[in-house]
Amino acid sequence: MDKPVLRTVMSFLLGAWLIGTILVACIAAENFWIIDRLLATSVHPVFHKDVSLLPAGEARAMLRYLASEQNRFFFVWWGWAEAVLGIALVAMAVRSRSGRLLLGFALMLALVAVTQLYLTPRIVEVGRSLDFVPREPPPPSLRSFGMLHAAYSALDLLKLVAGIWVAWVLLQQSKTETKSRETKAESMPKRV
């Protein structure tokens, strides 16, 4: 595979990785925000009738549990998808012989390894221990969950910044190669 094609494939995979990271974060947040909106503004009469049959707060607790399980599923499986993308991109960066690309993709893959192998399993474990536990007074593991979640978010943000930097490197390499080809074409003798 020649360098322009390799760079195009790397750009496509990196774009998918960055978009996926942003989408999973947005979906995870929306899964929780929609609960209160549904409870307050849903116009479906059967929904409100069924919710009213539950003890106060029970519908919200059930919906939050569902959202939590969905988010756990998304984070676990997205983490494995990121690992596959990261391994593929590191291999391509080795093939391209670009130290900066290799450094960027290796950093992103290392961040995925930390989140997927340590933080995500801990977040899932602590999160499940908090399901259906009253928040007043705050349970002791709520603080641990908050710290784990903050660490995950910080590493995810760092991964996103690293990915944007790698995208910039790919763009710069493409521009440099294009200029080099143009200069080479201009210096060749013209046929008459």
pLDDT digits (tens, 9 = 90+) for 31-83: 999 998 988 888 888 988 888 888 878 888 999 999 999 999 999 999 999 99
Mean pLDDT score, 172-191: 74
Of the chain, the end-to-end C-alpha distance in Å amounts to 34
Which residue did the predictor score with more confidence, 190 or 78?
78
Q: What pLDDT does residue 63 have?
A: 93
3-state secondary structure of 89: helix
The residue that leads in pLDDT, 178 or 18, is: 18
**Percentage of the residues of the chain whose pLDDT score is greater than 90:** 71
Determine the pLDDT at residue 182: 67
Is a pLDDT exceeding 90 seen at residue 192? no
Residues with Cβ within 8 Å of 168's Cβ and at least 6 positions away in sequence, in order, are none
Q: Which of 9-13, 91-95, 132-136, 147-151 has the lowest mean pLDDT?
A: 132-136
Each residue's pLDDT tens digit, 112-123? 999 999 999 999
pLDDT at 163: 97
Average pLDDT over the chain reads 92
Q: Which residue pairs, CB below 8 angstroms and at least 24 apart, start in 29-37?
A: 31/67, 31/70, 31/71, 32/64, 32/67, 34/67, 35/60, 35/63, 35/64, 35/67, 36/60
Distance between CA atoms of residues 150 and 52, nearest Å: 35
Predicted pLDDT at 136: 87
**What is residue 178's predicted lDDT score, i.e. its pLDDT?**
72
Query: Is residue 191 over pLDDT 90?
Result: no
The H or E element containing residue 10 is helix 3-41
Amino acid at 105: F
